[in-house]
Amino acid sequence: MKTPITAGSCYDYANDYWLKINGDFPDITAAFYNKNFSKPLNQAQNDKHDWVLSGIDFRPGDRILDIGCGWGPMLAAVKERNGRGVGFTISDLQVQYCRKRGLEVYAEDWKDADANQYGKFDGIVSIGAFEHFCSPEEFKDGRQERIYKQFFSFCHHMLKTGKHLFLQTMTWGYKVPEFEEINPDAPLNLYHHRIRGAILGLSSWWPPSSEEQIIDIAAPYFDFIESSNGREDYAQTFLEWHNRWREVPFLERWLLDAKTYLKYYSAPDFRKIMRNYKKTRADELFREAFSQEVLNHSRIFFQKNR
> For the chain, how far is it from start to end, CA to CA, in angstroms?
27
Count H helices and E strands in the chain, helices first: 13, 7
pLDDT-based confidence at 7, cuts 50/70/90? very low
pLDDT-based confidence at 266, cuts 50/70/90? confident
Nearest Cα to Cα of residue 44 among 68, 24, 27, 63? 27
- Burial code (b: 16+ CB inside 10 Å, e: under 16) for 260-289 equals beeebeeeeeeeebbebbebbbbbebbbbb
Report, as an integer, the average pLDDT of 67-89.
97
Prediction pTM value = 0.89
Check if CATH label 3.40.50.720 holds for domain 4-304. no
Per residue in 175-208, pLDDT (tens digit) is: 888 877 777 677 767 777 767 776 776 667 899 9
What contacts 1, CB < 8 A, 6 or more positions away? Answer: 109, 111, 133, 134, 135, 138, 147
What contacts 254, CB < 8 A, 6 or more positions away? Answer: none
Predicted local distance difference test score (pLDDT) of residue 10: 56
What contacts 38, CB < 8 A, 6 or more positions away? Answer: none
* Domain extents in the chain: 4-304
What contacts 216, CB < 8 A, 6 or more positions away? Answer: none
220, 206 Cβ separation under 8 angstroms: no
Is the pLDDT reported for residue 2 higher than 50? no
Predicted local distance difference test score (pLDDT) of residue 280: 56
Per residue in 220-230, pLDDT (tens digit) is: 999 999 999 99
Nearest Cα to Cα of residue 236 among 279, 283, 295, 169? 283
